[in-house]
A and B are shown apart, each in its own frame.
Chain A
Amino acid sequence: MLRFLLGRLGLLIPTFIGVTLVAFSFIRLLPGDPLDLLAGERGISDERKAELMAQMGFDKPLWQQYIDYVLGVFQGDLGTSFASKKPVLDEFMTLFPATAELALCAIILAVCIGIPAGIFAAVKRGSVADQAIMGTALVGYSMPIFWWGLLLIILFSGILQWTPVSGRISLMYFFPSVTGFMLIDSLLSGEKGAFASAVSHLVLPSIVLATIPLAVIARQTRSAMLEVLGEDYVRTARAKGLPPRSVIGLHALRNALIPVITTIGLQVGVLLAGAILTETIFSWPGIGKWLVDSISRRDYFVVQGGLLMIAGIIMLVNLIVDVLYGLINPRIRHN
């Protein structure tokens, strides 16, 4: 197991180098620069631009800028945002809990509904229920997120007034951030009604963000289950008279879950990288929108630092999935 783990960790080194290179070069390959965008229609003189580029270190050769960046990363310094003038790492740490909280709620929702739905569809293969579940999953998968979010807001917040329109908590609550996770902070604040407010603000964005992963997980679970249900050991289990619940729950599901876990892991990675559309619709202060805004402003340090952090998180999640996979399926570990 240790060798397996070390092998996986070893793979992270070239991945890290690749990510720093891609993050560094990606934003510089885009046409336009932050100063042209800052000056807008007014424009900026070439001399003034050169002066400011030198002030920010952008006049150095690219290789030197890259080395400065990597050395900074090793010292925990991702640079300073050109727009906000704040350290990139501070901004990331401020915004990431909002993204993580939403992503976790969404993935829990997707797993709790997606896996049972997939199992049910597989067991009732070809039935109306199967068709309905798979049809719904296809619709969910194809749904334009912006439209879907707005539709839910108009229905549940506008017409029915069951949920707030957007934000993380009602504006009447104002307490210092301890963990950055609003559910936890609202409990810690001790303010009456704060937790309920935080939960109510999470409902719609979680549903919207969970829609696609839910569909993916349901479809993946169904196909994995169908494959496993046709295996000899399942037939044997049935033949020896085990009740259907045990056959499905103990024998089939455990094996079917292996590819599903990979799918869930990938989805967690995607969601933690920030959900730009969901964050925009629900005014959710997360890293997705922050990063996209920074790209449009050519805020070099935010983009390269933010991408690196996100890539790091995805690598970490994938590592955890790999390890879990190895634990569940010894063949992987030994190969």
Chain B
Amino acid sequence: MNFQKTLKATLLGASLAVIAATGASAKTLVYCSEGSPEGFDTALYTAGTTFDASSKPLYNRLVEFKRGTTEVLPGLAESWEVSEDGLEYTFNLRKGVKFHTTDFFTPTRDFNADDVVFSFDRQLKKDHAWHEYTPGTAWEYFNGMSMPDLIKEIVKVDDYTVKFVLNRPEAPMIANLAMDFASVLSAEYAAQLEAAGTKEQLNQQPVGTGPFKFVGYQKDAVIRYGAHADYWNGKEAIDNLIFAITPDAAVRLQKLKAGECHVMPYPAPADIADIKADSNLTLLEQQGLNVGYLAYNTKVAPFDKKEVRKALNHAINKQAILDAVFQGSGQAAKNPIPPTMWSYNDAIEDDDYNPELAKEMLAAAGVSDLSMKVWAMPVQRPYNPNARRMAEVIQADFAEVGVNVEIVSYEWGEYLSRSKDVDRDGAVLLGWTGDNGDPDNFLAVLLGCDGVGGSNRAQWCNDDFQALIEKAKAVTDKAERTKLYEEAQVVFKEEAPWATIAHSVVFMPMSSKVTGYVMDPLGGHWFDGVDIAE
């Protein structure tokens, strides 16, 4: 019994040590993150887990998303002007912004235009000294957002003015610059590493201007940050931020309940009710900026007829999918963009679940004894927690209207690659999570003619739709853009290249002592502005 008492006292003391450490002397917030960052030079990567650990706490961008929204606010740039022709963006930089002082770097100057030029030129210019500074440097987000085609040059006008010259007008440009890959690094630190012959350290020991500075990383275990005392937007209320890497959702919840962490992402849907019932925990929820869809191949008969696609859309029971697959953490999708995004056209009516109508429409289109393939992704994604189950529900729905479905699947990389084929056999379950809150990031990427044979899995190229989204991309007036995107959604609904399935709801459990946490519609996890109640 004594042994038990001693053991309990010792072990409990150790396990709750973090809470003790959050006393008067220093406030420590522990975040049970779901995975390890691949590195800390954000622009090298595409994964949200890496962004959470790098760009969000450590860096700033010229412009930032307002907390909890996709609205863009000044960041390292205090203001900006766009030229009449939409080809020049001139940014007036903030003065007095300090980079982190760490064990491995002491800045001798404040942030200036050189840092902005360095951060972008290394991604843009193939002959830049830092373009291939570490093996396999892909700059995949920068390339994926077509920045090399878009940006002609980045010019330092003076120490506190930078000009981006574009090859064509691009309305979402400002939103693009709020994205993770646009994080601004220290050119002075890079020069120090280059002189020391240790360039790769840029990815291991980061220096930024963000609300937290890097303290240390024990691989696959713990990342430590300290508050940036000279942060331009004011020092954070918490002194230390710790990411305790905890891959399993059930274990994350146990740690949260035991007080070993304060915030956790991605709870298992089955645990939501339990979390809601726990008075020590708070559960935040928000609609994810995503869409899950079934993309027909509009280049292959009989799916080249919109009547057939429309008929099949009427055969899908979305409520059954929400119940079986999302278990309360999803909402039916009627448009290709989520309801939280500006320009969402709520006036559009969804194709209701009506198997009889579907049968009639198929007969009218001259389609009988139709057999087709439905591709089910092999992985869990925010917009589709269980594609196999979803495919099974669709299989049963289609069987009801006389359509025979064969479910096929491939390894994830193979799935992504094969589903791009223009002559692909079958309809593909896939989805998308927004990058920058701009409708162009959904409509042009997923449904534009340029995406055929690539990210446009429906292989759908409609002249009316294309004209609308191209026009919307070229004008900067938001009201006008909204109108154009609303019209584009009407065309989409009439043509039905996809069956829009669902938007997910994202949950975020945390200790009820945590205050000021705001969920990010883009799916990131931010800890600036967060505090712990005493």
A positions within 8 Å CB-CB of B:
30-45, 48, 52, 55-56, 80, 82-86, 91, 94-95, 98, 150, 153-154, 157-158, 160-168, 170-174, 177, 193, 196-197, 200-201, 203, 280-283, 285-286, 289-290, 293, 296, 298
A56 & B136 in contact (Cβ 8 Å cutoff):
yes
Task: Pick the contact of A283: B4, B245, B431 (CB < 8 A).
Answer: B245
User: Which residue of A is nearest B10, CB measured?
Assistant: A196
Across the interface, do A43 and B8 meet the contact criterion of CB distance under 8 Å?
A: no
Q: Which residue of A lies closest to B19 (CB)?
A: A172
Count B-side interface residues using an 8 Å CB cutoff: 66
Chain B residue numbers with a CB within 8 Å of A280 are: 247-248
How far is B138's CA from A83's CA once the two chains are assembled, in angstroms? 11
Q: A285-B219, A285-B221 in contact; A32/B14 too (CB < 8 A)?
A: no
In contact, B454 and A41 (Cβ under 8 angstroms): no
Given A162-B8, A165-B254, residue A283 in contact with residue B136 (CB < 8 A) = no
List B residues 121-141 near A (Cβ within 8 Å): 132, 134-138, 140
B 246-272 binary contact with A (CB < 8 Å = 1; else 0):
111011001101101000000000000
Assembled-state Cα–Cα distance A311/B431 (Å): 40
Contact yes or no, B39 A161, CB < 8 A: no
**A45 to B244 Cα, complex, angstroms:** 36
- Whether the pair B416, A281 counts as a contact (CB closer than 8 A) is no
Closest chain A residue, CB of each to CB of B7: A162
Chain A residues positioned under 8 Å from B44 (CB to CB): 85
Taking CB as reference atom, which chain A residue is nearest B243?
Answer: A171
* Given A83-B39, A94-B219, A200-B14, 17 other A-B residues pairs in contact with their CB atoms under 8 A: A38-B140, A41-B455, A42-B455, A45-B454, A55-B132, A80-B134, A85-B134, A157-B254, A161-B11, A162-B8, A165-B15, A171-B244, A193-B10, A196-B11, A200-B10, A281-B251, A282-B251
Q: A170–B219 contact, CB under 8 A?
A: no
Contacts of B454 in A (CB 8 A): 43, 45
Asked if A162 meets B138 with Cβ closer than 8 Å, knowing A42-B445, A281-B248, the reply is no
Q: Interface of B with A (CB < 8 Å)?
A: 4, 7-8, 10-15, 17-18, 20-21, 28, 30, 36, 38-39, 44, 46, 132, 134-138, 140, 143-144, 200, 203-204, 216, 218-222, 224, 242, 244-248, 250-251, 254-255, 257-258, 260, 410-414, 416-417, 420, 430-432, 445, 454-455
Instruction: Say whether B14 contacts A157, CB under 8 Å.
Output: no
A30 to B204, CA, bound (A): 30
Q: B134 contacts A32, CB within 8 Å?
A: no
A82 adjacent to B136 (CB under 8 Å): yes
Residues on A with C-beta less than 8 A from B257 are 158
A158 touches B203 (CB 8 A): no
- Asked whether, in the complex, the Cβ of B140 is within 8 Å of the Cβ of A161, the reply is no
Contacts A41-B455, A52-B136, A172-B18 given; indicate if A161 touches B416 (C-beta within 8 A): no
Are A170 and B416 in contact (CB-based, < 8 A)?
no
The residue that A86 contacts in the complex, of B204, B417, B420, B455, with Cβ under 8 A, is: B204
- Smallest Cβ distance from B277 to chain A, in angstroms? 15
Question: B136, A193: Cβ atoms under 8 Å?
Answer: no
CB distance from B140 to the nearest CB of A (A): 6
Query: Do the beta carbons of B258 and A32 come within 8 Å of each other?
Result: no
- Once bound together, how far apart are the Cα atoms of A153 and B454, in whole Å? 45
Complex A-B: 6 CB contacts under 8 Å: A41-B416, A84-B203, A95-B220, A170-B14, A200-B15, A280-B248
Task: Across the interface, name the chain A residue whose C-beta is closest to B148.
Answer: A48
Contact of B242 (CB < 8 Å), options: A52, A171, A193 = A171
Q: Are B260 and A164 in contact (CB under 8 A)?
A: yes
Shortest Cβ distance from residue B125 to the other chain A in the assembled complex, whole angstroms: 15
Residue contact B420 to A43, C-beta cutoff 8 Å: yes
